Amino acid sequence: MHCCANHSRLRNSCASGSGTNQTANFSMSAHQEFGESVTLHKLLALCLSENERRLAGYDARLRRPRLVPALARFAYRILPSSI
């Protein structure tokens, strides 16, 4: 819940323009606001599981994204978990 409050606060300050100097490097420093160590390996795992969860509700006969999930699975397998 803490991370959601911080994210909301940061989004509101960006939208209002009140934190332009503080949020200029938002994408480079936003992970520090969440209080967790976010690694590329964890992010890929989360994205892959979320992709499976979201697509599970659709008919399996429909076309599904293949390239990006395949690249993400490949990167997940070859990257060390510390990255």
**Count of residues in the chain:** 83
Q: Is the pLDDT of residue 64 over 90?
A: yes
Handedness of CA 75, 65, 42, 77 (dihedral sign): negative
Q: Looking up tokens 């690249």, which residue turns up?
A: 71
The CA angle 36-72-79, to the nearest 5 degrees, is: 65
* Banded model confidence at residue 59, pLDDT cuts 50, 70, 90: very high
Q: pLDDT of 3-54, one tens digit each?
A: 555 555 656 655 555 555 555 665 666 666 666 788 999 999 999 999 999 9
